[in-house]
Structure 1
Amino acid sequence: MRCECGHKNPPEARFCMACGQALGVILPEERRFVSVVFFDLVDSTRGFREGLASAYARLQEALEGAARAARCHGGFVHRFLGDGILVLFGAPRSKGLEPWRALEAALGMVQASPLPARAGVASGEVLWAPLGSGQAGEPTAVGSPVVLAERLSKLATPGEVLADATTLALAKGAQADFLGYREARGLGEVPVYRVRRVEIALDPEEEALLQEVRRALARPPARLNLVGPPGSGKSLLLEKFLVSPPFPTALLERMGPETPLRASLRQAVERTLGDPDALLAKAKLPAPLALAFRYSLGLEGRPPWPREDLEGAILEAWKRFLAGLGKPLLIVLKDHHTPDRTLERFLQEELPENVLLLVESRLPLFAPSLALKGSKAPPLLALQPALDALPPGERRALLAYGVLGEAPEALVKKLAGPFSKERLLREGLLAGESPLPEVREAALALVPEATAKAWHGEAARFHLEAQNLRQAAFHLARAGRGLEAAQILRSLAQAAWHQGHPEKALPLYQEALAIAPSSWQAFLTQEVQDAQASLGQGPEAEAGPRRQDPALRAFRQVQNPLDLLPLLPGLKPYPQEEAQARLLLAGALWRRFQPQRALEVLSPFHPALPPSLHLHRQSLRAGLLMDLGRYREAEALLAEGAEGDREAQVRFRVTRLRLLLETGRLPQALAEGEAHYGETPHPWLAAALLTAWTLRGRFREDLFQEALKHPDGRGLAALALAHHRWQKGLDPVPLLKEALREARRLANPYVHHLTLTSLALYLWPLAPKKAQALSQHLLYQTHRTGFAVHHEVARLLRAQLLLEGGEPVEHLLGFTPSVPFTQAWHAALSGEPPGRGLRGYGILGRWVQRLWAERGKVWTRRKR
C-alpha cells in the first residue's frame, strides 16, 4: 500500500515504514492487547574493558540469537535497546496464543544466550501509534505492560524469567513460583512470579472436547469441523491436539484472498511430505492432472482451461495423490474461515480412504462439527487475530459495526468506505446487520471516544433522514447530544402513550430521563408517573398531564354510566380508566336489557392492567355469554380463575356458581360454593349459595340474612324464599312480586327473568290463562332483548300451554336448546321422555316433572 508520502509498503503494513503515518485505517492509533518480553544481558559492559571489537561481536551474537529465538515463537522484535531487546507478541499483528508464546520465547532466549541474561514478561493493553508525529519512521507500543516487562527484567537474576499475574492467568498451564511483592520503580509494589515451565493446560470441559476430537479422528477416513466464535478456545484446543497428533500431519495456516492457497499448500507439502517434484514423480499422475497438481502448488503457470475444468482437475489430482500415499495423513486447516473455492469443494467431497481432515472455523463448513461456545479471553485479545487477518476495508467496517451495533450496510459504507459484507458474514463476525458480542466489546475498546462519537453523530444524521427516530435518538445519546436524544425519546413516548400503549412509552421515558439535562428531569418524572398511573401501577402526579386532560376530567364527572360511550375514544391513552369505563358501561347496558351491546363494549383490556380488572371483565363477559346462550364459551372463561382483589374473586365465583346451576350441576355448585364462602364470606356469594341450597330443598336462614346486605342479593333472597314457600305448599306469589320489585329497582334482568319464569311455572296448573299471558310476555321480552335461555324457557312454556289446549306448537319448538334443562323439556314436548336431564336442577327439575304428572297429559306434539 502506498502512503501519502510516496513510500510503497507491504500489504500487511498498518503504518508507513518511512513516515509512520497510519495506512488505510480510520483510526489514528490502535489499542492492542500484547504480551511483552524484555530481554536483558547482565553486566555486558564489562566486556568492553577487553576490547571494543571483541565485546561488540559477543554482544551482537547474543542479541541476534535472542532475536532469532523470539521470531521462532512468532514474536515481533520491536527494539534493540543497548544490551536488551523489546519483543512484542500481538503487535503489529496477532497470531493467537500470545501469552504462551511470549513465555516460551523468554525462556528460550535466556536459556540459549551465550552471555548471562534475564527477561521480564507482562501482558495488557498498549497504544500502538507513531510518536513524534511519525518522525521515528515506525509506530511504538506505549503502555504499562512495556514498562512492567522492563522493570521485571531488572528484578530478575541471571538465568531467570519473571512474569506478571496477568500473563500467567491467561497462559493456563504455565508453571511459576510466586516470589512475593517487589518494588518496581515508578509502579510501586507488584506481584512477581518466576517462570519454570510452559505448557498448555485445558480445563475439564475443554479436556472432554479434546477427547471428542481424538475419538472423531481415531482412524481414517474421518473429518471434523471445530467451530466457535472468537475467543472460544478453538486455537487452544487445536494446539493441544497437535502436541501429539495420532497420524502424520499436514498443517495449513489461515488463508484467504491475501494469502494464495498455492503458497500455503506448497509450504505444507514440503514441510510434511518432502520435495513436491519427487512426490509427483512417485504418484505417476496423467499429464493433465500432473499439470493441475503443479499449478495448485505454484510450480506452474495457470493452464489455459475453463475454470470449472481446472478446479475439477485439481481436485482429482489431489485425490489421487493423497490416495497414492498409502499411509494415513491428517490434514489440519487452522483458522480457516474464508476457504478458497476449490478447497471448499474439496471439503464437501468424499475423502480418500487414508485421509483425515480437521478444520478450525467460526461457522460450520461441513458436518460433523464440534461447537465451542462463549469467549474465554479478554475481548481485544480474542478478536485481534480476526481483525489482523482482514483487509483494511473489512477491518474498518467491522469496527464501525462494533461501535454502532446493528447498522444498515449503506451507513457503514458511508463511515468506513467500500468493503465486502459477505466476507464478514462468511467469517462469522457478523450476524445479519449486527456484530458478535465479542466484536462489539473489542471495538468499543479499540476505537477512540472522539471517533466513536463522530460515528454515532453521522449515524444519527443518517437515521433522521430516513425518519428512523428511535435509532436516531440512540446514536445521538452516544454522540454526547443528550438533549436532542431526550427530545426525540419524549416525543416517541408521548406518541406511544396517546395511541394507548403506556407500557411502550415507559422505557422510552426511562431512557430520556437517563440522558436528559437536569432542567428536564422534573416534568419527565411526572410524565413517567402518569404513564404508570394509566396502567394502574401507582398514583398519578399532582401536576402531571393527566390532571389537565379533559377526557379524564369528563370521565370523573360522569353520573350516568351510559354517558361513557362517547368518552371511550378519548380514554385510549389511559387503559385503566378505559377498562373501568367499559365495565361500568357494560353493566349499565345489561341492566337496560341489552346483553349483546354490553358484550360488544367489553373489548379486551390492556394486558398490563391489574389482574382484578381482567378478572372482573372475565366474569362479566361469561355472564353475558350465558345470557346469550353461549355456554361453551362461558365455560372456557370460567374454567380457571386468576389473581384479583376480593370483589373480583367473589364476582368470578358467583358467576361460576350460576354456570353450574344453569347447566344442571347442582351438587358441584354446592360443594364449590360452600368452599368459597368458607374462605371468603360475602353477601353476594351468600345469595348465590342460598339459591343452590333452595334448589336442593333446604332454606338457609344464615345465608338469607347475609344476602339481604347486597343490593342485587335482596332480589335473589326474596326469590329463594318464594321457592321455599312454594316447596312447603304455601303461596309464593307475594314474595315473587317482592323479588320483581327488587329486580325493577336495580334493573336486574337475571332476577327479573328468573322471577317471571318461576311465577309462570307456579301459575301453570293453577291459572293457565295467567301463565299463558306471562309466557307470552316473557316470549316477547326475551326475544327483543336477546336473553337466549330465558327465551327458550318462554317458548317451551308457551308451547306446553298451547299443547294442553290442543293447538299446534311446531313453530315454537324449532330451535336447538342450549342447556340440559331446556333439552329435556324440548325432548318431552317432542314426544320423548324427559330423561335424566332435569335431575341436576334439584327441586326445579322435580317441580317440572311433577307438574307434568299432575296434569295427566300425554304431552306429545300434535300430528298434522
Structure 2
Amino acid sequence: MRCACGQKNPPEARFCMACGQALEAPLPEERRHVSVVFFDLVASSERFREGLGPAYQGLREALEEAARVARAKGGFVHRFLGDGILVLFGAPRARGREPWRALEAALEMVAASPLPGRAGVASGLALWAPLGSGQAGEPTAVGPPVVLAERLSKLAAPGEVLADAATLALAPGAEAEPLSPLEVKGLGRVEAARVHGVRPEPGPGGRALLAQVRQALARPPGRLNLVGPPGSGKSFLLERLLEEPFPFPVVVLERMGPETPLRASLREAVERAFGTPEALLDRAGLPEGLALAWRYSLGLAQRPSWGREELEEAILEAWRRVLWRLPGPMLLVLKDLHLPDPTLARLLRHPFPRLLLVAESRKPLFAPTLALPGPQKPLLLALQPALDALPTRERQALLAWGVLGEVPEEVLEALAGRFSRERLEREGLLEGGKPLPEVAQAARLLVPEERAKAWHLAAADHLRQRGDLLRAARHLKEAGEARQAAQAYRLLAQRAWREGHPERALPLYQKALEADPSLRAFLERERQDALASLGLAEEAEGGPRSQDPVLAAFKEAQSPWALLPLLPGLKPYPLEEAQARLALAGAFWRAFKPRQALEVLKGFPEGAPPSLRLHGKSLQAGLLMDLGRYPEAEALLKPGEGDLEAQVRFHATRLRLLLETGRLEAALEEGEAAYRNVPHPWLAAALLTAWTLKGRFREDLLEAAKAHPDGRGLALLALAHHRWLRGENPKPFLKEALREARRLSNPYVHHLALTSLALYHWPRSPQKARVLSQHLLYQTHRTGFSVHLELARLLRAQLLLEEGERVDHLLGFTPSVSLTAAWKAALAGEGPWDLRGYGMLGRWVRQLWRRRRGAWTGRP
C-alpha cells in the first residue's frame, strides 16, 4: 500500500515504513492546490540510434537523477512518462512553500541532468483521485496545472524552465523573464516567463517580522514564541531566519507530536550539537537519579520504576540543570510545536543563561510572543500543510466538520472513525468547540462535490433518525436532494402550525419553496392559510383551513359556550383561538366566574394579532384586579399595538387600576390624554368616574358614556355618586345602574351599585343595609370577586359594630388595596391612613376613622 508521502509499503503494514503515518484511509479523492513540474529530455529518441541498451541506460540515469532532485526538494514523483517525469508539490501531502520548491526543483533538475532537459511549472487546483475505479492502485492528479506544466515543458528550449503567471505570483523573489503570451495547445494564450533563479522573498511585512525575530535572538538568553493560525507563514519566516548564519550553534527540531517520539528528536539534537550525550551529561554533573531520568528521556536507558509524576519531575529537573550549564551559547529552534509534550511545555517557560530559543506554535506557550496575522492566499495552499500533518482520522473528521458545519459528534465518527477532539483543540485548529473559520473554508475547498454530497446525505440520515428534521433538511438541500429537503421543511412547517405557531411555519415554508420551487402550488396555499391563521391574509381557496371541520364549527357557533369544546382543535389557528378565548372569558366573567375566565386566558396564543393580544392582556388584568392581584395586573398593563377597541380597553383598564390603587391624579392625567386621542364612550365612562371621585362632574362625559352599553352603567353610578355628594337622593340612579348591570350581566357595575346602595342605606335604613351587605357577602364569596368581597366584609363588620357585636371573623383577611386596608384599620380603631389618592372615597374613610376613634355612638 502506498502512503500519502509516496512510500510503498507491504500489504500487511498498518503504518508507513517511511513517515509512520497510519495506512487505514481508502484511496483519497480531494481537490488540492498543487504546483506541478513536468521535466522531459530533449531529442531523447535520437539516442536510440546508438542501440537500445545504451539509450535506455542514459535515459534511466537522467530521469533517476531528476527524480532524486525532486524528492530532495519535497516533491512527489508522480509518474515516469516515457522520457519525462511528472512531479507534484502539494499532493498527496503538502509541506509548505510549494511554489518555491517547485521552481527550485525544476531549475536544479534541468541543471543537474546529464542529458539536455527542460521543464514547465504550473500551479492551481487539481483533483487528486483514482481513475479506472482505483484499478491503477493509486490516485492521479487531474486538472489544468498538470496539463499546462506538460505544455510549457514542450515549449521550453533545452536547459530552460518556463513557469506560468500563477506560480510566479505565489513565489515572490523568483527571478524570471516575462515572455510574450504563448499559444498553448488546448488552453489558448497563456502568460508565462523564463525562470532564472529563486530566492524566496517574505515581502515588506515579512521583512519587518523577520527583523523583530532577529532582534529578539541577538544575544542569550533571547527567547521568542512565534504564534499564529495555520497558514500564517510561521514556518517560512523560520526558514528565512535560518538561511543566514548565527555566531553560535543552531539546533533545529522539526515537528514533534505523538507520531514522532520526543526522545528520538532530543537525542538527535544532542548528538548534532555536542557529539555524544555523555559529553553534555558529564558537564552537567547530575546526581545518579537525575542522570538516569535524563538518559531515559533520550532513549538511552530503560524506564525507571518510578511513578509517572515522579518521573516527569525528575526529567524536568534534569533538563533544567543540563540547559543551565550549557558550555556556550546555543540557538534552539522548535518547529511546528503545536502539540508539545507536557514536560517540554513546562521546561520552555524557564529561561536559561546561554540558551536562545524560538518556538513555532499556534497557541502561546511562553512569553514573549510574536503574533502573525491570518492565513495567506490562496487559502487552500496555505492550510494544506496543517491539515496534512494530522493523523488520518483527525484529518478526516476535521474535513467533514468543516464541510458539514455543526453536527453531532456521532456523525463525524461515522464518517471518520473515532477521533481525538482534544488533539484538534491542542493543535489550535478549533475555536469555541468548532473548526477555525479559515480551516472550515479550506475543508470546503478541498473536499470534492460528490464526497461532500455523500457526507451531507449521511448527516441527514443520522439526524432524521434522531428526529432532528430541521438540520436534516439543511443537509439534504446541500446534498442536492431538493425534493426531500422541501418535504422535510414542509413537515416541520406543518408540525409548527399544528402546535399553534404558524408564525414559525412561515420561514419553513419559505425554505421549502427555495429548496424545490416545483412544489409552489400547494406550498403557497398552505403558506397563505398560515398567514390567514395569524390574521395577515385571506384564507386560500382549497387550502387546509377550508377543509378543517373545527374551523367550520367555529364559524357556525351561535354562543360563546359552543366554543369551549373547540379550543383544543383551534390551536393551529391563533386568530380564531384568540377570538374564542376572548369570547369565552367574557362569557365566564358575565356569568360571575372570574377564575374560570382567567383560566381560559392563560392559554392565549402568542401568534394572535397585536390587537387581540392587547385585548387579552387588558381583560386578563381586569380579572386579576377582580381577584385582588393588583401587582400582576399592573405588570400586564404595558402599552402595545392594537386597533381602536383594543386601545380603548387597555386605557379603560389602566384607569381602573390607577383609581383602585389610589392614584387619582395619574388617572386623570392619563385618562385625559387617552380620551383626546381616542374619544370613545367607554373611555368617557372611566374618565367620568375619575372626575366624580375628584369632586367634579362632567356632563359632556356623561352624554358620551351613555352611547356604550357597559359605559352607561358606569355613567349612572357616577351620576348617582354626584347626586349623593350634593345631598340629593341617588337611589333612582343606583337602581337604574343595577338594572343595566343585570341586563348586560356586568358584575363590576352590579357589585358597585349594590355596595353603593348598602352604604347609602346604612345611616338611614340599617335593616336594608344589613340585607344588602349579607347578600353581597354571600354573592362575592361564592363567585370569587375578591375586592368586592373585601368591601362586603367591611360593610357587614361596620353594621355589626354599631350593634355592639364582635367582628373579628369578618376582619381576618389581607386587604388588596390601600382603601380597604384603611377602612379595615378604621374599624379596628387604627390609623389614620393617607388616602388623598382616592378622592372623595379617601375623605369618607378618614371621616369614618375620626368617628370610630373612641367608639361607635349610634348612627352617624
Indicate the larger mover: 310-319 or 648-657. 310-319
Partner in structure 1 of residue 319 of structure 2: 318
Partner in structure 1 of residue 227 of structure 2: 226
Partner in structure 1 of residue 202 of structure 2: 200
Distance apart, 1:596 and its partner CA = 1.4
Q: Is the 8 A contact 2:184 2:190 kept in 1?
A: yes
Mapped partners of 1:436, 1:330: distance in 2: 32
Distance apart, 1:417 and its partner CA = 5.4
What amino acid maps onto 2:653 in structure 1? T
Distance apart, 1:840 and its partner CA = 1.0
1:390 and 2:390 equivalent?
A: yes
TM-score computed with the length of structure 1 as normaliser: 0.80
Partner in structure 1 of residue 95 of structure 2: 95
What per-residue deviation string (whole Å, max 9, x for no partner) do you get for residues 737-779 of structure 1? 3322322222222222222233333333343433333323222
Q: Is the 8 A contact 1:683 1:709 kept in 2?
A: yes
Partner in structure 2 of residue 19 of structure 1: none
What per-residue deviation string (whole Å, max 9, x for no partner) do you get for residues 777-816 of structure 1? 2222222222222222222222223333433333322222
Distance apart, 1:94 and its partner CA = 0.9
Q: Secondary structure at the match of 1:812?
A: coil
Alignment of 1:180-579 (within 5 A): 186-189=186-189, 198-201=200-203, 226=227, 228=229, 230-231=230-231, 235=235, 250-269=251-270, 276=277, 278-286=279-287, 289-290=290-291, 292-294=293-295, 296-297=297-298, 300=300, 302=302, 305=305, 308=308, 311-325=312-326, 331-340=332-341, 343=344, 346=347, 352=352, 359-361=359-361, 377-378=377-378, 380-403=380-403, 405=405, 415-416=415-416, 423-424=423-424, 426-427=426-427, 438=438, 440-457=440-457, 481-484=481-484, 486-487=486-487, 489-503=489-503, 505-506=505-506, 508-515=508-515, 518=518, 520-579=519-578
Partner in structure 2 of residue 18 of structure 1: none
Mapped partners of 2:478, 2:273: distance in 1: 53
Distance apart, 1:700 and its partner CA = 2.6
Mapped partners of 2:708, 2:204: distance in 1: 75
Distance apart, 1:499 and its partner CA = 3.3
What amino acid maps onto 2:789 in structure 1? H
Distance apart, 1:464 and its partner CA = 6.0
1:603 and 2:621 equivalent?
A: no
What amino acid maps onto 1:570 in structure 2? G
Q: Is the 8 A contact 1:585 1:601 kept in 2?
A: yes
Q: Is the 8 A contact 1:401 1:407 kept in 2?
A: yes
Mapped partners of 1:310, 1:679: distance in 2: 84
Mapped partners of 1:197, 1:679: distance in 2: 81
Distance verdict in 2 for CA 1:588–1:402, change over 3 Å = same
Distance apart, 1:126 and its partner CA = 0.9
What amino acid maps onto 1:719 in structure 2? L
Partner in structure 2 of residue 813 of structure 1: 811
Distance verdict in 2 for CA 1:209–1:793, change over 3 Å = farther
Q: Is the 8 A contact 1:808 1:861 kept in 2?
A: no
What amino acid maps onto 2:573 in structure 1? Y
Mapped partners of 2:213, 2:760: distance in 1: 85
Q: Is the 8 A contact 1:176 1:197 kept in 2?
A: no
1:771 and 2:769 equivalent?
A: yes
CA RMSD in angstroms comes to 5.2
Distance apart, 1:665 and its partner CA = 0.9
1:623 and 2:594 equivalent?
A: no
Partner in structure 1 of residue 751 of structure 2: 753
Distance verdict in 2 for CA 1:40–1:720, change over 3 Å = farther
Mapped partners of 1:177, 1:535: distance in 2: 71
Mapped partners of 2:219, 2:362: distance in 1: 24
Select which of 792, 795, 805 maps to 2:793: 795
Distance verdict in 2 for CA 1:477–1:96, change over 3 Å = same
Mapped partners of 1:213, 1:57: distance in 2: 49
What per-residue deviation string (whole Å, max 9, x for no partner) do you get for residues 399-427 of structure 1? 45555555566665555556656645654
Partner in structure 2 of residue 580 of structure 1: 579
Distance verdict in 2 for CA 1:567–1:202, change over 3 Å = farther
Mapped partners of 2:413, 2:23: distance in 1: 18
Q: Is the 8 A contact 2:716 2:737 kept in 1?
A: yes
Distance apart, 1:252 and its partner CA = 2.5
Q: Secondary structure at the match of 1:126?
A: strand
- What 5-or-longer segments of structure 1 have no aligned partner? 16-21
Q: Is the 8 A contact 1:75 1:102 kept in 2?
A: yes
Distance verdict in 2 for CA 1:133–1:844, change over 3 Å = closer
Distance verdict in 2 for CA 1:521–1:822, change over 3 Å = same
Distance apart, 1:231 and its partner CA = 4.3
Q: Is the 8 A contact 1:123 1:167 kept in 2?
A: yes
What amino acid maps onto 2:202 in structure 1? I
- What 5-or-longer segments of structure 2 have no aligned partner? none
What amino acid maps onto 1:737 in structure 2? K
Distance apart, 1:627 and its partner CA = 0.9
Q: Is the 8 A contact 1:25 1:396 kept in 2?
A: no
Distance apart, 1:652 and its partner CA = 2.0
Mapped partners of 1:652, 1:370: distance in 2: 63
Residue identity over aligned pairs, in percent, reads: 66
Indicate the larger mover: 95-104 or 670-679. 95-104
What per-residue deviation string (whole Å, max 9, x for no partner) do you get for residues 452-495 of structure 1? 44555555565666666666656555555554555555445434
Partner in structure 2 of residue 742 of structure 1: 740
What amino acid maps onto 1:563 in structure 2? A
1:128 and 2:123 equivalent?
A: no
Mapped partners of 2:91, 2:365: distance in 1: 30
Mapped partners of 2:576, 2:12: distance in 1: 74
Distance apart, 1:330 and its partner CA = 6.0
Partner in structure 1 of residue 719 of structure 2: 721
Q: Is the 8 A contact 1:453 1:478 kept in 2?
A: yes
Mapped partners of 2:556, 2:329: distance in 1: 91
What amino acid maps onto 1:321 in structure 2? V
Partner in structure 1 of residue 841 of structure 2: 844
Mapped partners of 1:608, 1:831: distance in 2: 52
Q: Secondary structure at the match of 2:763?
A: helix
Distance verdict in 2 for CA 1:566–1:329, change over 3 Å = farther
What amino acid maps onto 1:283 in structure 2? A
Q: Is the 8 A contact 2:780 2:789 kept in 1?
A: yes
What amino acid maps onto 1:841 in structure 2? Y
Q: Is the 8 A contact 1:35 1:122 kept in 2?
A: yes
Distance verdict in 2 for CA 1:826–1:172, change over 3 Å = farther
Distance verdict in 2 for CA 1:660–1:119, change over 3 Å = farther
Partner in structure 1 of residue 677 of structure 2: 679
Q: Secondary structure at the match of 1:125?
A: strand
Select which of 632, 638, 641 maps to 2:639: 641
Q: Is the 8 A contact 1:217 1:223 kept in 2?
A: no
Mapped partners of 1:672, 1:63: distance in 2: 97
Mapped partners of 2:567, 2:180: distance in 1: 76
Q: Secondary structure at the match of 1:715?
A: helix
Q: Is the 8 A contact 1:482 1:517 kept in 2?
A: no
Distance verdict in 2 for CA 1:721–1:10, change over 3 Å = closer
Q: Is the 8 A contact 1:829 1:859 kept in 2?
A: no
Partner in structure 2 of residue 689 of structure 1: 687
Q: Secondary structure at the match of 2:567?
A: helix
Distance apart, 1:689 and its partner CA = 1.8
Distance apart, 1:72 and its partner CA = 6.5
Distance verdict in 2 for CA 1:468–1:670, change over 3 Å = closer
Distance verdict in 2 for CA 1:202–1:707, change over 3 Å = farther
What amino acid maps onto 1:845 in structure 2? G
Distance apart, 1:615 and its partner CA = 2.4
Distance verdict in 2 for CA 1:431–1:553, change over 3 Å = farther
Distance verdict in 2 for CA 1:601–1:107, change over 3 Å = farther
Mapped partners of 2:542, 2:175: distance in 1: 68
Select which of 755, 760, 778 maps to 1:780: 778
Mapped partners of 2:181, 2:25: distance in 1: 41
Distance apart, 1:585 and its partner CA = 1.3
Mapped partners of 1:609, 1:167: distance in 2: 63
Q: Is the 8 A contact 2:202 2:237 kept in 1?
A: no
